Amino acid sequence: MSVPDLAPTLESSGLVDAYTPLADCFDEMRTAEGEVRPHWQYLLDALRTLGPTGIEARWREASRLIRDNGVTYNLNGDPRGMSRPWELDLLPLLIRSEEWAELERGLIQRAELFNLILADLYGPRELLRLGLIPAELIDGDPGYLLPCHGIDVSGARPLVHYAADLTRTPDGRWRVIGDRAQSPLGAGYALENRVVLSRVLPSLFRDSHVHRLAGFFRSMRRTLTRLAPHHGEDPRVVLLTPGPQNEAYFEHAYLANYLGYTLVQGADLSVRDGALWLRTLGRLERIDAVLRRLDDSWCDPLELREDSLLGVPGLVQAVRTGNLVLANALGSGILEHPALMAFLPGICQHLLGETLALPDIPTWWCGDPEARGHVLEHLDRLTIRPCIRSLKQTPLFPAAMEPTARAALIEAIKRNPSAYIAQERIQPSTTPALIGQHLEPRPSVLRAFLIAEEEGYAVMPGGLGRVASSHDATLLSTQLGGLGKDVWVLASEPERQESLLPSAELLAPAVVKESAVSSRVADNLFWIGRYAERAEGLVRLLRITIFKFSERGDFALSKANASCLRSLLEALTNQTQTFPGFIGEGAEERLRDPVPELLSLISDRSRVGGLPRTLEALGQAAYSVRDRLSADTWRIISDIDRLVASLSEHPPSQLSQALDELDPLVTSLVAFSGLSQENMTHNEGWHFLETGRRLERGTATASLLQSMLVPVSGEQDENMVIEAVLGITDSLITYRRRYRGGTRIGALLDLVLQDEGNPRALAYQFAVLSKLVSDLPRGDLSMGRTPAEKLVLKSLTGIRLAEINALIQVEGQEPRREVLARMLADLDTELAALSDAITAQYFRHEEQPHSLLRRTGTMQP
């Protein structure tokens, strides 16, 4: 984007000089005559000041922030899967405050209308009795949940959270093209869009007097607190997610953090005695309200969809008994039925006595004979959609169909008319998007969000904008494809800044309530610690091995170096468990030419035990609990992910190239370790992460000493081995300062085996584990030491009592340190047993049978 002049005019820069609105559609920035709409002028002036170079710098900064924050969204079929980054356009969508006020009124009316429809469909069903909605549309749709009929809803608003997808017709009027009522997606992405753009365009954002979003999320939190059945001064609200495989898991974790809620999955919850409980370590915690991001039918395998592995058995019963509130209420997915659009004007007049202020795209349900006649007569001007949403069929455009296919469609409509709706084909409005070095008009959709309050509904001042990936797209899918856009509602004066932090005038003492750690979360944190340490240890071992391999040409050291290199290569196979490697069948050939095997361990994603697979496992475990990780920690995870991708996509062909990749990787892993130690609260979750780290470091150190020190060789050979071990354990400087008599096995074992002040020593790992294990929740094991405590105590005592002189003695016909070998083998076995003991006590989820209904008496779980 570089140009000779540092401050060219915007038109001459080529950014907008070719910007021409598309024919037959409304453009947000320019009129049909090509004039810039007044409320866009300040933005264009700011772009003129920035110039192409400045705009490109802001775009790169925005992309970096999204990448560092790990903002992802997975589109179906995208090869990048869960790692697909969210794509944000640098230009916001601008809406005048006066225009927004009118749109807001229509949105509030629509939310009130849908709330009344939902209450009626699961209550008296008057709309069906009066024929305002055909009964077959509701009773024949899988979105209508019969088990939820008649359930009383707290607060008189079962529709707590609602969203509408909007676009403009060519005359500039807003039209609704879709309703989102189960678990409306996108509010978190809208908030992230705002955070990014306000950082990369701070002056423009401030001077434009943009309405802020924090007030909407304050209303959301206040509403959920108000609706929750109060079983204490501070009701517990959780956010229910399908899990990290969901395309919008980033938003689930992001909102949970922003709102201060615990992020949970179905496996974390249990219904007992008619109430919902969060299974934490050693106890159960009562849940009062759930902000769900799980579709209706998946929520309860007992009463709804029996094949669901995502929900909670008995959840419907907990709601039925009045002990739990869900937002939104179960069954609200019926409001997304596409055929409802055809009947909304009449329903609005009946329930509210008003004309529908925010109309839908003109819609006809083919089950009505008169509507079907209109559809068949004007087929080429319409879009045909199936009513059965589970089929997920794409819309059909009869005008573009072959005659045979068109005739088949007509026959299908006549044969089963109630299964189809028709909608008028419209050209969605366009908005400018920064594409390459130009602004181009792209079809756009605005998703607006509402939250129920005591007196009505509150609208997010803005929302989530989306633009299509090509200028000729006629629609955007229900998934959040294309480019995201921040939506700026322009106020006439500066907005008061808001925050989700409690008000300063609140004089009541702060309530300390630690975010609970479930078995699933503890399990993932434990393995984050193990994988991070495993990767760091492997990188250190690989670096020393490559250094020694590069020194093989020194004739004076060749024999000793060869012996040391062989031990290092065998240690690599033992530590990674990538057999046969340098130990099993074919090892001699690989020892003569170790480069292919080493490069495979460094860059081959398919190699179980190799570096890429270990780092991928770290990323997956971190992604599963990303709501527990700080923004700085997540940036390190993102850096590691990029380094892994670079290693795999552009595998090094030489070890020197691999070394260039390993150096920044070890830096990132050390940074991750430091952040988890210094920035993470030392609560239950941290204890499991640190326990995993110490277990893994102990295992790796025992394996390293077993491979390197048990075999005995000549003095020069052993000096090189000792130096390599000190390098891998990052203890070389301490050794040189402490031991002045040269390199000796006894001194090495004193430092790396028994020194409880050396963070790399085995004794240090067991000393720290002893404290960590004793601090873990004990549950019912209140008397005596737990199995894990006994194992740690036994191992630590054995290390403390070990005699160095006995450990270094050589025995057997083959020169080996057998006493050291037996001790290291015992420690390795005890570490594995310790891991199993922790897993058995904390990470297994077997439950005893219990009642889903409330029992009489005072017994509590």
Could you give the domains of the chain? 93-338+428-490 (no CATH), 362-424 (3.30.1490.270), 517-680 (no CATH), 683-848 (no CATH)
How much is the pLDDT for 59? 93
Residues near 590 by beta carbon (within 8 Å), at least 6 away in sequence: 569, 581, 582, 596, 597
Best CA proximity match to 9, nearest among 52, 47, 48: 48
Do you find a cis peptide bond into 74, omega within 30 degrees of 0?
A: no
Q: Token pair 């049909």 is at which residue?
A: 32
Best CA proximity match to 756, nearest among 772, 769, 744: 769
8 Å CB contact between 724 and 718? no
Q: Is 406 helix (H, G, I), strand (E, B) or coil?
A: helix
- DSSP H helices, 416-557, are 519-550
- How many Cβ atoms sit within 10 Å of the Cβ of residue 607? 17
Residues near 684 by beta carbon (within 8 Å), at least 6 away in sequence: 281, 514, 517, 522, 776, 777
Q: Work out the angle at residue 260's Cα, subtended by the Cα atoms of residues 259 and 266, and round it to the nearest 5 degrees.
A: 95
8 Å CB contact between 371 and 343? no
Q: Token pair 């590691």 is at which residue?
A: 640
**What's the rounded Cα separation, in Å, for the pair 211 and 95?**
11
Best CA proximity match to 431, nearest among 492, 488, 357, 478: 488
8 Å CB contact between 154 and 289? no
8 Å CB contact between 519 and 281? yes
**What's the rounded Cα separation, in Å, for the pair 389 and 384?**
13
Token pair belonging to 852:
């889903």
Supply the Cα-derived Rg of the chain in whole angstroms: 32
pTM of the model: 0.89
Query: To which H or E segment does residue 380 belong?
Result: none
Helix 787-801 × helix 818-838 angle, to 10°: 160
Helix 684-709 × helix 558-576 angle, to 10°: 140
Token pair belonging to 765:
């790992």
8 Å CB contact between 852 and 275? no
**Burial of 166 per CB tally in 10 Å (0-12, 13-18, 19+):** buried
Strands 237-240 and 289-292: parallel
Token pair belonging to 824:
């290291």
Best CA proximity match to 434, nearest among 62, 78, 185: 62
Sign of CA dihedral 25, 31, 37, 42: positive
**What's the rounded Cα separation, in Å, for the pair 793 and 622?**
30
Q: How far is CA 616 from the centre of its chain?
A: 15
Query: To which H or E segment does residue 178 belong?
Result: strand 174-180
Q: Work out the angle at residue 500's Cα, subtended by the Cα atoms of residues 671 and 462, and round it to the nearest 5 degrees.
A: 100
Given a cut of 50, the residues of the chain with pLDDT beneath it are 1-13, 478, 504-512, 555-556, 855-861
Helices (H) and strands (E) in the chain, counts: 27, 18
**Burial of 220 per CB tally in 10 Å (0-12, 13-18, 19+):** buried
How much is the pLDDT for 392? 57
